[in-house]
Structure 1
Amino acid sequence: MTEPMHIVLDETAMAAAGTGNVLASRLIHRAHAEAGWYLYAPACALVEADRTRPGTAEHLAALPGITVIDLDLPAVLAVAQQATWAQAHTQHTAQPTPDRPDGAIIATTTPERWKGEPVRVLDLTP
């Protein structure tokens, strides 16, 4: 049995999914079609993606392979300490949890923004 794959989409990956980015589309397909693939959309990043590309939030929230992560109290506390809500909620979502003991990988089209942060990154730059 293979290890589960947990991936968090940042707002750049979410916006890219709607512009024909093949790598983002493949992630969405795998999360829908293959067991053990989990794709997460933090609510704050979803808002920013929708601001960049209107309609993104509604589209991604309707996809069966994507789990939208609510802004709960621990996430609020993490967001309060960061400059941007989207990045903070994404980073918080990628941290280890009982369901994701190794945390999650952040999928992004701007990997340089995560440099120096304690996260693993999947570059979706075509």
Structure 2
Amino acid sequence: MHIVLDETAMTAAGQGNVLASRLIHRAHSEADWFLYAPSCALVEADRARPGTAEHLAALQGITVLDLDLPAALAVAQHETWAAAHSQFAAQPTPERPDGAIVATTAPKRWEGEPVRVLDLTP
């Protein structure tokens, strides 16, 4: 299971969202669960709730995704960096042939986008 946390999911995790906490626990304890934090979304989450970036980056079950050249080119085509980097991270790759699911507390934002969504709204 491959899941990309958007900035709303990251912020929710720091505010005690039970569903986000369960995802983090599963990624830490189960070998076939992977959580990704795109760096652009991590920055936005930290702006919304200072300390979020340090906290999430320190967790073993979360992989922070760098803004490499392919991601930067994809992000440059969108208005918001956080959503664009999350969407890019959810696309299929050789490591994730089926892509990843975007975990969010703002599912309406993703309507019409080419991603699968996991609603973390309590």
Measured against the shorter chain, the TM-score band is: over 0.9
Question: Which one of 26, 30, 55 corresponds to residue 26 of structure 2?
Answer: 30
Match of 1:89 in 2: 85
Do residues 101 (structure 1) and 97 (structure 2) align? yes
State the identity as a percent: 83
Q: TM-score, normalised by structure 1?
A: 0.96
Match of 2:113 in 1: 117
Give the paired residue count.
122
Unaligned 5+ segments in structure 1 are: none
Q: TM-score, normalised by structure 2?
A: 1.00
**In structure 1, distance between residues paired with 2:82 and 2:74:** 11
Structure 1 residue 11: Cα displacement: 0.0
SS in 1 for 2:102: strand
Match of 2:9 in 1: 13
Match of 1:72 in 2: 68
Letter paired with 1:80: A
SS in 2 for 1:97: coil
Letter paired with 2:85: H
Unaligned 5+ segments in structure 2 are: none
Question: Which one of 38, 43, 67 corresponds to residue 39 of structure 2?
Answer: 43
Letter paired with 1:58: E
Structure 1 residue 35: Cα displacement: 1.1
**In structure 2, distance between residues paired with 1:62 and 1:18:** 13
Aligned CA-pair RMSD? 0.2
